[in-house]
Amino acid sequence: MESKVLDVLRDRVLELGPKPDAGGPYRNFKLTRDADGVAWVLFDRADASANTLSSDVMEEFDAILTALENQRPTGIVIRSAKTSGFIAGADVNEFRGATDAREVETRIGRAHAVIDRLEALKIPSVAVIHGFCLGGGLEVALACQMRIAIDDARFGFPEVMLGLHPGLGGTARFTELISPVQAMTLMLTGKTVDARRAKSLGLVDAVTQERHVRNAVRDAVSGRLKRARPGAMNSLLNFGPVRGFLGSRMRKEAEKAAPHEHYPAPYALIDLWETHGGDKAAMLTNEKRSFANLMVTPTAQNLIRVFFLREQMKKLAGGGNTVKHLHVIGAGAMGGDIAAWCAHQDIRVTLADMKPDAIAGAIKRAADLYGKIVRKRTEIRDTLDRLMPDLDGEGVRNADLIIEAVPEKLELKQKVYAGLEPNMKSGAILATNTSSIPLQDLRTTLAHPERLIGLHFFNPVSRLQLVEVVSHDAADPQILKQALAFVGAIDRLPLPVKSSPGFLVNRALTPYMLEAMVMLDEKIDKTVIDAAAEKFGMPMGPIELADQVGLDICLAVGDMLRSKFGDLLPPTPAWLRDKVTKGELGRKTGKGFYIWRDGKVDKGGPAPNPTQVTPEMIDRLVLPMSNVCVACLREGIVDNADVVDGAMIFGTGYAPFRGGPLNYARTRGPQNVADTLRALAQKFGDRFAPDAGWADFQ
| pLDDT tens profile 476-488 | 999 999 999 999 9
Name the least confident of 190-199, 433-442, 601-610: 601-610
Give dist(CA 551, CA 596) in Å, integer: 14
Q: Is 544 part of the annotated catalytic residue set?
A: no
Q: Specify the pLDDT at position 549.
A: 85
What CA–CA distance (Å, rounded) separates 341 from 406?
A: 17
Collect contacts of 571-576 with beta carbons under 8 A, ≥24 apart. 571/514, 571/518, 572/514, 572/517, 573/517, 573/518, 573/520, 573/521, 576/517, 576/551
pLDDT at 234: 81
Q: Indicate whether 14 pLDDT > 80.
A: no
User: Residue 227 has what pLDDT?
Assistant: 87
Average pLDDT, the chain: 91
Residues near 279 by beta carbon (within 8 Å), at least 6 away in sequence:
none
So where are the chain's domains? 3-296, 316-497, 506-695
* Residue 131 clears pLDDT 70, i.e. is over it: yes
CA distances 165 to 187, 379, 489, Å, are 7, 34, 31
Among residues 573, 567, 566, 510, the alpha carbon closest in space to that of 542 is found at: 510
98 pLDDT exceeds 50? Answer: yes
- The shares of helix, strand and coil residues in the chain, as percent rounded to the nearest 5, are 55, 15, 30
| Residue range 263-291: mean pLDDT, rounded | 95
CB 416 within 8 A of CB 406: yes
* Helical residues (DSSP H) of 190-239, grouped into ranges: 195-201, 213-222, 232-237
CATH of domain 506-695: 1.10.1040.50
Task: Using the predicted structure, report yes or no on whether residue 435 has a pLDDT greater than 70.
Answer: yes
Q: Within 10 Å of residue 12's Cβ, how many Cβ atoms? A: 11
Average pLDDT over residues 374-398: 92
pLDDT of residue 568: 82
3-class DSSP state of 562: helix
Q: What is the pLDDT of residues 345-374, one digit of tens each?
A: 999 999 999 999 999 999 999 999 999 988
HSE of 454 in the Cβ direction (CA atoms, 13 Å)? Answer: 34
pLDDT-based confidence at 13, cuts 50/70/90?
very low
Q: Which of 15, 60, 119, 159 is catalytic?
A: 159
pLDDT at 340: 96
> Average pLDDT, stretch 279-305?
96
How many other C-beta atoms can be found within 10 angstroms of the C-beta atom of residue 440? 13
Over residues 40-89, the pLDDT tens digits come to 999 999 888 899 999 999 999 999 999 999 989 999 999 999 998 999 99
Q: How many CA atoms lie within 13 A of 505 on its CB side?
A: 29
CB count, 10 Å around CB of 685?
13
Contact 497/482 with Cβ under 8 angstroms? no
Q: How many CB atoms lie within 10 A of CB 482?
A: 22
* pLDDT mean over 613-623: 96
The per-residue pLDDT for 24 is: 60
Distance CA(547)–CA(566), nearest Å, equals: 24
Give tens-digit pLDDT for 656-671. Answer: 999 999 999 999 999 9
**Which fold does the domain 3-296 belong to in CATH?**
2-enoyl-CoA Hydratase; Chain A, domain 1 (3.90.226)
pLDDT mean over 274-282: 93
Pairing of strands 387-389, 38-43: unpaired
Give the model confidence (pLDDT) of 138-191 as tens digits: 999 999 999 999 999 999 999 999 999 999 999 999 999 999 999 999 999 999
- As a whole number of angstroms, the distance between CA 338 and CA 362 comes to 10
- Cα 518 to chain centroid distance, Å, stands at 33
pLDDT of residue 200: 94
**Local confidence band at 22 (pLDDT 50, 70, 90 cut-offs):** very low
Q: What percent of the chain is modeled with pLDDT above 70? A: 97
Residue 20 in this model has a pLDDT that exceeds 60: no
pLDDT score, position 594: 92
Total-model pTM: 0.90
CA–CA distance, 381 with 75 (Å, rounded to integer): 44
**Which superfamily does 316-497 belong to?**
NAD(P)-binding Rossmann-like Domain (3.40.50.720)
Is 139 considered catalytic here?
yes
The catalytic residue among 59, 60, 69, 139 is 139
Residue 317 to residue 486: CA distance in whole angstroms: 8
pLDDT, average across residues 681-698 = 93
Residue 236: pLDDT over 90:
no
Strands 38-43 and 75-80: parallel
Q: Give the per-residue pLDDT at 235.
A: 81
